[in-house]
């Protein structure tokens, strides 16, 4: 006796097994955790540059401004911010992301 022959000879048992599988599947489906708005970590790019001994004004005009001009040509860039200090400059880039929800 093979496996399929058992289900062919007993149609009532086959119907009850299928009903049990469907009911169990529906019950398990309702217990699945689903978030409406999942937690997404948006990527950021940080560019650090240094010029030892330079003042914050020099870092802004000689280092940060040319870099910002070049970074602004990047397609899909959402925002850009820079911080200039004594001999150091930090630029943070936030690319625009398209979130596709099925």
Residues with Cβ within 8 Å of 79's Cβ and at least 6 positions away in sequence, in order, are: 93, 94
pTM for the model stands at 0.56
Vertex 51: Cα angle to 64 and 90 (nearest 5): 40
Domain range summary for the chain, segments of one domain joined by +: 1-34, 45-95
Question: What pLDDT is recorded for position 101?
Answer: 58
Closest alpha carbon to 91 in 101, 76, 79: 79
53-99 pLDDT per residue, tens: 999 999 999 999 999 999 989 888 889 999 999 999 999 999 877 66
Residues 63 and 50: beta-carbon distance below 8 Å:
no
Above 90 in pLDDT, residue 22?
yes
Above 70 in pLDDT, residue 45?
yes
């Amino acid at each position: 006796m093979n496996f399929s022959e058992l289900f062919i000879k007993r149609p009532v048992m086959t119907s009850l097994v299928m009903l049990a599988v469907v009911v169990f599947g529906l019950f398990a489906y309702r217990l699945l955790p689903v978030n409406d708005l999942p937690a997404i970590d948006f990527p950021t790019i940080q560019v650090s540059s240094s010029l030892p001994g330079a003042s914050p004004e020099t870092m802004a005009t000689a280092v940060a401004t040319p870099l910002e001009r070049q970074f602004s040509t990047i397609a899909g860039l959402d925002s850009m911010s820079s911080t200039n200090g004594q001999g150091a400059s930090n630029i943070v880039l936030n690319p625009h992301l398209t979130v596709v929800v099925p």
